[in-house]
Amino acid sequence: GGAFSNPVTSGVIDTFNSGVGAPVSRMFDRNFLSSDTDNYQSTNASGSWFTLDFKTRTVIPSVIALQHRYLGSNLFRTIQISGSNDNSSFTTLTNFTSTKNTGYAYDLITIGTTVPYRYLRVTHTSLDSSGANYFIVSECLVWGTLSA
């Protein structure tokens, strides 16, 4: 129980990224109807990614939900989700292509693994809906089994 606390800003998880235009922590604030001041946004670079570090714990992810930005432009398209226990060697868990064309839309991405991982990486592997390389996500939610 208790009040919600952003897991990034409260130190429960760490995040890393390939180049940031706006902080990753914005994806974990539960502000579902956001503006561009509330999104994670990469730089305009091919293969942009963010990594979640569960620190002393591991997670067996079952579903990852990614919410598109509030505008209907620069929506992410093809992504790859990978797992690692050393933040160096990553195993591809799934590839996913979004067909969403409106802002605020969620993609629910099923992960078919029974392996626990300390690190989850989400990589944008294509151009966005506007033909650029921005990777913009409003909210990120992870469901799965978390180690004690």
pLDDT in tens, the chain (148 residues): 567 677 777 888 888 888 766 667 777 766 655 555 677 788 899 999 999 999 999 999 999 999 887 777 889 999 999 999 999 999 999 999 999 888 788 899 999 999 999 999 999 999 999 999 998 888 888 999 998 7
Alpha-carbon torsion 17, 72, 28, 116, what sign?
Answer: negative
61 closest CA partner among 97, 28, 109: 109
pTM: 0.88
pLDDT in the model for residue 105: 87
pLDDT in the model for residue 10: 80
* Cα→Cα distances 95→25, 31, 86, 107, 119, Å: 23, 26, 21, 13, 17
Measured between its terminal Cα atoms, the distance across the chain in Å is 17
Q: Which residues pair with 67 in a beta bridge?
A: 106, 139
pLDDT in the model for residue 36: 57
pLDDT in the model for residue 120: 97
> What length is written for the chain?
148
Q: Could you give the angle at the alpha carbon of 59 between the alpha carbons of 56 and 47, nearest 5°?
A: 100
